[in-house]
A and B are shown apart, each in its own frame.
Chain A
Amino acid sequence: MKILVCLCPVPDTTTKIAFGDNNTTFNSQGVTFIINPYDEWYSVVRALELKEAGTATAVHLITVGKADAEPVIRKALALGGDEAIRIDTDSNDPYVVAAQIAQYASAENYDLVLCGKESIDYNNGTVGGMLAELLDMNYLGFVSDIKVDGNNVTVLREIDGGDETDSCVLPLVISCQKGVAEARIPNMRGIMAARTKPLKVVAPAAISSVSNIVSFEMPPAKTGVRMIAADNMDELVSLLHNEAKVI
């Protein structure tokens, strides 16, 4: 079984978000980029576990990004994985990202494609579903457990107000969230090995974008908190009813 893991570099979760050029660009100055936590903690680690268990024969890591994405891919390679692929283009359009990955993946016959449930920067969560359609595969989204038995995969999947156990035969695209695996920290040997692992840079296919970000906006700042005495909860309830009008 051959696994492809999709990775996305994102700003560190503690980043104070700021915009430049009259709120039209994300200001990445001084921002540390990390692997999207859903990819790093869950998809990558589960793929590695399947390789260690002898279920998977190869684990490839792929990202769509310019050269500045490479430190993040090397970090993922330090966790494990046989090779990495970087498609040399940058886009905020999820369709372009998915179509670029699909273009590469269609020639490689992957049995399982793993991605995170969403990236924590643009929160689209669309690449998995798009890939499934473009690769003509079934898609299981928001998965918190993956078991593989030969050609058959059983997952626990989030649904409205609960979860569901589904099974399906490969090939499949799965989007991962908490529960799929326990996050790992790369060890020294992994970090050394990652330096020499193949990182293929692939020229992008000609795919035009179908959406673009025009501008950004910060949420309105709170006007200041109104403190209520801890022994006067009647007042809080009355404010929630009469002032905030939420109950």
Chain B
Amino acid sequence: MSVIVLTEHAQGSFKKKSLEAVQYGAKIAAMMGTSVTAVAAGNVSNDELQTLGAYGAQKVLHVADARLDNFSSRAFTKVVLAAAAQEGAKVIVCLHDTTGKAVAPRVAARLQAGMVAGAVGLPDLSSGFTVKKNVFSGKAFAFVNITSDVKVITLMPNSSAVVKGEGSASVEALSVSFDDQDFAVQVQQVSKATGSVPLSEAELVVSGGRGLKGPENWHILEDLATSLGAATACSRPVADSHWRPHNEHVGQTGGTIRPNLYIAAGISGAIQHLAGVNGSKTIVVINKDPEAPFFKAADYGVLGDVFEVLPRLTEAVKKFKANN
């Protein structure tokens, strides 16, 4: 019996959300009186693998096959299934991101296991195995009870703060037998925005709507994002008009995010937009219309013109950073 967690890394360094997932798995393991084993695939150094111990992993199973540096849902599913079989896993945790959302359903279907997609909290074991998740794109939560013996969870990033502890994990090689079909997906080209924080993981997000009037004005929003170290997002019409890339679109038909701080500039706060962002811890709304519905969902509001307020806020942030 154990809990296993599928981790993700970028060029050999674990992503913050994976540390969160390991910590989450460790907490579940503690509740169940068992241990957590992390699973890593592809090229990662032994030193890096051991660091997972500081987040609660007793053991790391490493499948070093270099073909796993490219993602394949079939191959990663085999990795998780092999680890689960070896460890006698009762709970399998992946991230609720493009990797986890492609692997966890396959694993669940193979094991005929119940699955909770997008968990935002720890399971409640008092009567069954009940996990809280977002539904209706963040307009509500559901408590889902998994009734199968094995449970599969994808964890929404930023559901809890990552706290580094002590300890180093033991690393074991895991061998998995693959077939050609497992690597039938050929990766032709990868394009990544370098240096920026991925939106789903960002703790601070600055987002713009139609109130910014056009893509040529986005630099004032980017200046604020840079001063804060925040990621940028946008409303749907902004992405639809190609002012910003589609992956920045948040809301009911875009991404759902839960940053600590969401600053909305020139966004009206339509119900479909709120759905994707109302899990944010703190919401700041900047709008020139006192009737903008977003103010009702905000913690802090600034009534004013974004073209004046944003540069002022950027200056204030810079001043604060210089003094702290």
Contact = CB atoms under 8 A, between A and B. Distances in A.
Interface stretch (A52-60, A66-74, A227-235): A227-235
Chain A at the B interface: SS class: mixed
Interface stretch (B50-58, B83-91, B210-218, B303-311): B303-311
Interface in A103-140: 120-134, 138-140
B239 A178 contact: yes
Interface in B180-194: 181, 184-193
Given A93-B114, A161-B192, A214-B144, A126 B73 contact: no
Contacts of A219: 138-141, 278-279
A123 B117 contact: yes
Contacts of B284: 236, 240
B115 interface: yes
Contacts of B301: 225-228
A210 interface: yes
Contacts of A231: 312
A14 interface: yes
B117 A230 contact: no
Contacts of B304: 230
Interface residues of B, number: 107
B252 interface: yes
A154 B185 CA distance: 10
A177 to B, nearest CB: 8
A98 B140 contact: no
A163 interface: yes
A52 B193 CA distance: 36
Contacts of A124: 115, 117-118
B103 A211 contact: no
Contacts of A206: none
B21 to A, nearest CB: 14
B116 interface: yes
Interface in B70-118: 71-74, 77, 97-99, 101-110, 112-118
Contacts of B105: 94, 98, 125-130, 133
A215 interface: yes
Nearest to A209: B147
Nearest to B298: A225
A33 interface: no
Contacts of B256: 123
A222 B117 contact: no
B135 interface: yes
Interface string B27-68: 000000000000000000000000000000000000000000
Shortest 8 CB-CB contacts between residues of A and residues of B: A129-B105, A230-B304, A162-B192, A210-B114, A211-B114, A233-B316, A161-B198, A130-B109
Interface of A: 11, 13-15, 17, 19, 37-38, 93-95, 98-99, 120-134, 138-142, 144, 154, 157-169, 178-179, 209-219, 222, 225-231, 233-234, 236-241, 244, 246-247
11 contacts: A123-B135, A133-B105, A133-B106, A158-B98, A160-B8, A161-B192, A162-B191, A210-B114, A210-B147, A211-B114, A247-B317
Given A125-B105, A237-B313, A237-B317, 11 more contacts: A120-B137, A160-B200, A168-B184, A209-B147, A219-B278, A227-B303, A231-B312, A233-B316, A236-B302, A236-B313, A246-B261
